[in-house]
Structure 1
Amino acid sequence: MIDAGSSGSRVHVYQFSVCNDPVLENEVFHMLEPGLSSFKDDPEAAALSLKPLMDIAVKSVPKEFQKCTPIAVKATAGLRLLGKDKSDSILKSVRKYLETFPFPIAGENGVEIMEGSDEGVYAWITVNYLLGKLRKSQRGQSAAVFDLGGASTQIVFEPTFATPEENMVEGDHKYQLDYQNDLFELYQHSYLGYGLNEARKAIKMEMVNLWKSEAKKTGKVYHPCLPENYKENMATDNGTTVQLIGTGAGYTECRGIIERVFNKDKLCEVGPCAFDGVYQPSLTETFKDRDLYVFSYFYDLTQPLGMPTEFSVKELGELTDRVCRGETKPFQHVPGALQLLKEKPDFCLDLTYLYNLLKYGYEIPADRLVRTAKKINGAETGWCLGASIAMLDENKLVCQA
């Protein structure tokens, strides 16, 4: 399974034993940068960028099993943002390139831009499969999944309602998952444009729009989420360039800008809503006392600063406040943390966004604990394992060594 993400591509080579339930025996993982979307005007170069990953796949799968080991390339929101013509050209070149290898492509949808709903649900399958929560004995104990990529963010959970009369509102957010002849009714939503990279652009542009006339006159805009006196040139939608100047104003002032990008005042046609006018059952009311798992950028930004793998939303806010204040003492014991904070001027902005996504966007209470992990039981988290398990069901190939 190749994950063609917005910031890079990753290969996962899974080895299963399959009798009734698939049992994961081994995983080979490797990633590289940049992603396919970086080659928007050169589809052939995009396809060839996968060569190191394909070489790993060939080395990892015994020759006698290669002809019946299906392969898929699933692109995510980064490629979707290029538009249909450019993304179709890249996917066509990728499929043509894969055909030069012995692995069968996993059907018509073996090379595609994955729907955001599938991305979130596959991540949910991965986590709950690795936690053992998909067994019949664990029904009603599934974990919720919050994934944060570069271009989009997903939420998936299995809500429970207090009375039989209450249920989930009908709509695209409702996902009926049939796994091993067991039915799970999930809530899912993928917010395109709310991944960290896209949100960062929106947060910076928010100040430009707020000071539009001043920006046009002087070409400069002050930003509270950036370190004091830090300067950065930013291209605007109309083709002009504005210089952002950091004020180092701190977490509270930064939060005031970031809250604006969540569009909390957008019309909520069917309530309750989380943000941007999107319906979501209340996590407080329909998902009590069960695990919340946060992944990808949640992990990448908190773990290098010495955070534990389980922390409260409030503790994430406290970490954010310390970083935005420019404090160094709390991080002196963490190898590489001070250098990382020095090299990344967006750290205050990014952490403030993460905290507000959970607290203000999804309305998770401050005392609620969340867990983060890059691996569970030795396997990478994310959507790839879940998608591969689904691929096993769809491509029943039998190998005879």
Structure 2
Amino acid sequence: MIDAGSSGSRVHVYRFNFCKKEPQLEDEVFHMLKPGLSSYKDDPAAAAHSLDELMQIAVKNVPSEFHHCTPLAVKATAGLRLLGKDISDRILSKVRSHLETSYPFPIAGDDGVAIMDGSDEGVYAWITVNYLLGKLDPAKRGTSAAVFDLGGASTQVVFEPSKEMIQGEHKYTLNYGEGDPFVLYQHSYLGFGLNEARKHIKEAIVDLWKDQWSSSSPLYHPCLPLNHSETITTTKGQGNDETTMEFQLVGTGAGAAQCRAVLEPLFRKDECQTSPCAFNGVYQPSLTDAFSQRDLFVFSFFYDLTQPLGMPKEFSVAELGSLAQRVCDGQAEQYFRHVPDASILLQKPDLCLELTYLYSLLKTGYDLPSDRIVRTAQKIKGMETGWCLGASIAMIDAQPICKA
């Protein structure tokens, strides 16, 4: 399984044991590289060949006698989706052609090389986590964990509510194993991944000052360190009406509260046609009422930004807010002297902005109480978290596979 994400591509080579009722995962080989396919929007052939390093790892780790019956899938996520259909189709067509002619693995069906629906991305991550936690057993119904994933271009939430939901695209019926299907709530917020959010948060100051700005003056941003300076480019309009402008941003180091004041309006909490809502006008059952006692896992950038700063694997929403506040106060180094290599992450000028966004996404966006405990992990039982394992389990049910 190749995860063609917005910030890089990753290969997962899985080995399963089929001697029991449920496939048992025995081994995983994982490797990642940068940049992602979306970085090759002007050169689809280069995009296809960028996967060669990953494919060589797959060829090496799958026994040659199983090459012909080991299905291969490439699932692209929000980064490629943002390029638009024409560009993404050209890239994926080149990828499929290259893999079919250069490697021995059969492509997993017509949608074996495709952009994955946001709903599938979140649900596959939910399958991965709950499979590894052993919570998909029919005897353990009602104990499943919730999954919050924060990628570069989008963020997903998936959980099994304890109360009835209204009908809609958010309702996902998952048939897995024996017994009744799982009824899940899921939603993917395109444009609210960390990379996209970072861009929008910086542009928010431009929008705030658009009627008073002089081209000779910088714009001051509270989410950036004191006196940090950078230039951003914004594009407005489309086609013949498209205009591009450059702005100089200068950091004020004003702190986490001032930073939240800039970024929290991006959640558009006042837009809600069918309540209750999370953010951006999207219906979501209340996590306080419909998911109060079960585990809640946060992944990807949540892990990448908290663990290098010495945070435990379990922390409250309030503790994440405190972490953001300490970094934004400009006194971070004294707090993290005990953490090896924390200074590397602390050098990022966007760290205050990013941690404040993580906190606000949970507290303001998803309406989690301050004392709510969340868990983060890169692996569970030695296996990578994320959607790839869940997608591979689904692929097992749909494709002919090797069974020794």
1:175 maps to which of 172, 176, 200: 172
Report if aligned partners of 1:6, 1:150 keep a CA contact under 8 Å in 2.
Answer: yes
CA distance in 1: counterparts of 2:215 and 2:400, whole angstroms: 64
Q: Give per-residue Cα distances to partners, 1:217-259, cap 9 Å, x unaligned.
A: 4352100000000001000113110000000000000010110
Among 225, 228, 232, the residue aligned to 1:227: 225
Q: Distance in 1 between matches of 2:371 and 2:301?
A: 21
Q: Which residue matches 1:360?
A: 364
1:250–1:321 Cα contact (<8 Å) kept = yes
1:281-320 aligned within 5 A = 281-320=285-324
- Given that 1:224 and 1:250 are in contact with CA atoms closer than 8 Å, whether structure 2 keeps it comes out as yes
**SS of the residue 1:357 aligns to:** helix
Distance 1:45 1:63 in 2: 27
Q: Who is 1:53 aligned against? A: 54
Structure 2 residue 48 is the aligned partner of structure 1 residue 43: no
Instruction: State yes or no: 1:192 paired with 2:190.
Output: yes
Residue 326 (structure 1) shift: 1.4
CA contact (8 A) 2:317 2:369 kept: yes
Give the structure 2 partner of residue 128 of structure 1: 130
Contact 2:313–2:375 (CA under 8 A) maintained in structure 1: yes
CA contact (8 A) 1:214 1:220 kept: no
Counterpart mapping for 1:79-118 below 5 A: 79-99=80-100, 100-118=102-120
CA contact (8 A) 2:18 2:403 kept: no
CA apart distance, 1:69: 0.2
Q: List gaps (5 residues or longer) in structure 2.
A: 236-242
Contact 1:70/1:104 (<8 A) preserved: yes
Matched, 1:369 2:373: yes
Write the distance in 2 (CA, Å) between the matches of 1:179 and 1:321: 43
Gaps of 5+ in 1: 162-166
Given the alignment of the two structures, is residue 325 of structure 1 paired with residue 329 of structure 2, yes or no?
yes
- The question of 1:347 aligning with 2:343 is answered no
- The answer to whether the Cα contact below 8 Å between 2:138 and 2:178 also exists between their aligned partners in 1 is no
**8 A Cα contact 2:66 2:402, kept in partner:** no
The one-letter amino acid paired with 1:228 is L
Q: Is the 8 A contact 1:124 1:144 kept in 2?
A: yes
SS of equivalent to 1:67: helix
Distance 1:91 1:216 in 2: 44
Whole-angstrom CA distance in 1 between matches of 2:345 and 2:355: 14
Match of 1:335 among 326, 331, 340: 340
1:253-272 matches, within 5 Å, as 253-266=258-271, 268-272=272-276
Q: Match for 1:150: what amino acid?
A: G
How far did residue 213 of structure 1 move?
A: 2.8
- Kindly report structure 1 stretches of 4+ aligned residues shifted beyond 6 Å: none
Q: Aligned equivalents of 2:273 and 2:94: distance in 1? A: 42
Equivalents in 2 of 1:154, 1:176: separation in Å? 17
Find the residue that maps to 2:213 and give its secondary structure.
helix
Q: Percent identity?
A: 66
Structure-2 residue corresponding to 1:31? 32
CA–CA distance in 1 between the matches of 2:168 and 2:286?
16
Q: Is 2:87 aligned against 1:76?
A: no
When residues 90 and 219 of structure 1 are mapped into structure 2, their CA distance, relative to the original with a 3 A threshold, is farther
Q: Contact conserved, 1:373 with 1:381, CA < 8 A, in 2?
A: yes
The alpha-carbon deviation at position 91 of structure 1 amounts to 0.2
- Give CA-to-partner distance per residue, 1:19-68, whole Å, 9 cap, x none: 32110000000000000000001000000000000000000000000100
How far has the Cα of 1:340 moved from its partner?
2.1
Question: What secondary structure, in the 3-state scheme, does the structure 2 residue paired with 1:272 have?
Answer: coil
Task: Quote the Cα distance in structure 1 between the aligned partners of 2:91 and 2:209.
Answer: 38
Counterpart-to-counterpart distance in 1, 2:58 and 2:159: 32
Shift of 1:398: 4.0
Instruction: Give the Cα–Cα distance (whole angstroms) in 1 for the partners of residues 107 and 128 of structure 2.
Output: 22
Q: Return the TM-score normalized by structure 2.
A: 0.96
Q: Give the aligned residue type for 1:79.
A: L
Aligned length: 393
Work out the CA distance in 1 between the residues paired with 2:283 and 2:224.
32
Say which SS state the counterpart of residue 253 (structure 1) adopts: helix
Residue number among 267, 273, 278 corresponding to 1:274 in the alignment: 278
2: CA distance between counterparts of 1:398 and 1:36? Answer: 29
Give the alignment's Cα RMSD to 1 decimal: 0.9
Residue 285 of structure 1 aligns to a residue in which SS? helix
Match of residue 164 from structure 1: none
